[in-house]
Amino acid sequence: MTASRVLVLNSGSSSVKYQLLDMADRSRLAAGLVERIGEETSRLVHEPLAGAGGGRREQTGPIADHDAALKAVAAELAADGLGLDSPELAAVGHRVVHGGTRFTRPTVIDDEVLAEIRALVPLAPLHNPANVTGIEVARHLRADIPQVAVFDTAFHSTIPDHAAQYAIDAATAARYSVRRYGFHGTSHAYVSRAAAALLGKAPEEVNVIVLHLGNGASASAVRGGVCVDTSMGLTPLEGLVMGTRSGDLDPAVIFHLARVGGMSVDEIDSLLNKKSGLLGMCGDNDMREVLRRAGEGDEAARTAFATYIHRLKKYIGAYTAVLGRVDAVVFTAGVGENAAPVREAAVAGLEELGLVLDREANAVRSGEARLISPASARVAVAVVPTDEELEIATQAYELVTR
Ligand code: AMP
């Protein structure tokens, strides 16, 4: 029996999301999450899939740390006959947010790699420590199988210097590793490839603009399967208007808030990352609420929506210029996959760029990759559901079976 299962772990500061996949047929055996780790009210939701084990289970009660969380996950999997001690487990794939310039492809984790991921913590202080903890705990659990790091930044490592550099003093930038790295790379990689398949082409043959619109949001320009620009930068703060992040703004806003508003760096950091975007503008970060309120004529929600769409349009225009020829504009993630009004508003008035919507196709709700532009359109507009877990599992499995 060849081992074909991959456990995918996405460890956050107080949560662990996981999926167990069988790469023999790319099926999903189980999925779940542990949240509020370290609190009294931790919650574990576990769902066996593809007919495996029992039904969906939920438990609440204190789970002290990531070690206890992963042990609880292992117990749930074991109860479904999917124990992590199984010889069928080929690898654990870890989502790691920041790979800096050091990691440009999936990497089997050894002590040296782990130390290097730790060294990148200053670039991703919120994310990399949790990723490191997840790796340490999983290594402890199954020291005998490869643990693979799949980096959120890796797909963007091909962005040319002129798009990756900020126009600041070169020595300062080099000293502090200040450049644009981009994030959501696993999603942009998966979706750009799936979009090519939807067009019946190889990735090398098409130029694609991917709009990953979730609670976090980013755009990328992908030429022939190679990423050439993306909207997130040194951190995920740059670019599009997001659920709680501002996206692009004049850096002098920060000096102004510090000097005139008397705010500390940490307060401004929190303001721009957690209390801005849709939430900051109208009090809701969920696009469903924003749309509902805007539909009822709520002024703040309408302004937030209009700002969100305006920024999105600017990036579609910019990336059309970057790519020269665009074959498809692709919407993905929670908002992109589900919010037809966002898709409609984002491409409205862009006929000169070759973008036209088939309104009926756009209104259809579906979990499938699909075209939402007429067959005659110069540029295809598509919806492609993202699948970061499958992409992480695929990359990890390819690496360990090569
Ligand atoms: P993600 O980060 O990809 O999980 O996306 C989460 C976001 O998707 C939520 O915050 C919602 O704003 C958005 N979302 C999910 N379903 C819908 C929907 N039916 N219509 C509009 N937005 C949605």
Q: Is 247 in the pocket of ligand 1 (CB under 6 A)?
A: no
Closest to 316 measured CA to CA, from 277, 371, 354: 354
Q: List, for residues 171-230, the tens digit of each pLDDT value.
A: 999 999 999 999 999 999 999 999 999 999 999 999 999 999 999 999 999 999 999 999
Same fold, 5-151 and 201-388: yes
Instruction: Tell me the pLDDT tens digit for each residue of 223-264.
Output: 999 999 999 999 999 999 999 999 999 999 999 999 999 999
Percent of the chain with pLDDT over 90: 93
Cα 47 to ligand 1 centroid, rounded to whole Å: 21
How large is the average pLDDT for residues 21-48? 95
- Note the pTM of the prediction, 2 decimals: 0.95
Give the pLDDT mean for 73-88. Answer: 91
DSSP bridge partners of 210: 220, 330
Mutate to test the pocket of ligand 1, among 152, 287, 365, 366 (most ligand atoms within 8 A of CB): 287
Is 39 marked within a binding site? no
Residue type at position 33: L
Angle, helix 128-141 to helix 66-79, in steps of 10 degrees: 50
The pLDDT, as a whole number, for residue 13 is: 84
Per-residue pLDDT of 40-66, as tens digits, reads 999 999 999 877 667 899 999 999 999
Q: What's the rounded mean pLDDT across residues 145-155?
A: 97
pLDDT of residue 1: 60
Instruction: State the Cα–Cα distance between residues 91 and 397, nearest whole angstrom.
Output: 7
Q: Is 236 in the pocket of ligand 1 (CB under 6 A)?
A: no
Rounded to an integer, the average pLDDT of 350-361 is: 97
Which CATH code fits 5-151? 3.30.420.40
The pLDDT-based confidence of 362 (bands split at 50, 70, 90) is very high
- Mean pLDDT rounded to a whole number for the chain: 96
Alpha helices per DSSP H over 33-127: 66-79, 111-119
**Residue 228: which of 321, 311, 103 has the closest Cα?**
321
Kindly give the distance from the C-alpha atom of residue 85 to the centroid of ligand 1, in angstroms, as a whole number: 36
Average pLDDT over residues 298-308: 98
Residue 336 marked as a ligand binder: yes
As its CATH architecture, domain 201-388 has: 2-Layer Sandwich (3.30)
Give Cβ neighbours of residue 160 (< 8 Å, ≥ 6 apart).
228
Can 25 be counted among the known catalytic residues? Answer: no
CA atoms in the 13 A half-sphere facing the CB of 75 = 12
* Tokens found for residue 361: 């196709």
182 CB near ligand 1 (under 6 Å): no
Decide whether any atom of ligand 1 lies within 6 Å of the 106 Cβ: no
Question: Which member of 152, 284, 298, 387 is catalytic?
Answer: 152
Where in the chain are the domains? 5-151, 201-388
Pick the residue whose CA is nearest to atom 10 on ligand 1.
Answer: 286
Rounded Cα distance between 249 and 214, Å, is 20
